Structure 1
């Protein structure tokens, strides 16, 4: 059922504490942690505590929690001091776009030049 933890989901296991992660922030509705394969000096994932397969389904079902993810992404950028130079918030949707964990999540990337368009 959408929104419910999934036993086979890596990010649900991070939310529950069953899988360790380097958590940098936690709110009532989100968890933010360092990516294990960073693509920039700042590379933090911000996830909702509820399970939805992608950002669009999260936003459709629980728009306030989608907004919480975006707010926390901005706070992560400020705390990592990349907000002054610029940072990127990326939602990959689908395997063809590089999504490997099908639990909605935002990548916060910064701390180096970020080319456009992204590769």
Structure 2
């Protein structure tokens, strides 16, 4: 029984550490264009891309389960194209097509970021 409790505790600690790492990845890899926290009047004026909470909310409406959500985020970030855009028309007109993140972020990093987005926004 003690072994099971230890495993459970390690699992909780590992999950918390992974979430922290994913939040840091989101900030480091996505935060220069996407607002990753609550928007302020000042940072909204200078947005280069939709705020991350808006992206996540919109994608959750299109992709009902985590795997589909994650698969889309990874694919779109590495291979963006006009026919994949699921943002509303105004966001598409304002921000246009996201540039490819190939060479900037790995598939594994994108998977962690996408899981974090799905579960925290």
TM-score (norm. length: structure 1):
0.27
TM-score (norm. length: structure 2):
0.26
More helix by share: 2
Between Structure 1 and Structure 2, whose CA radius of gyration is higher? Answer: 2
More strand by share: 1
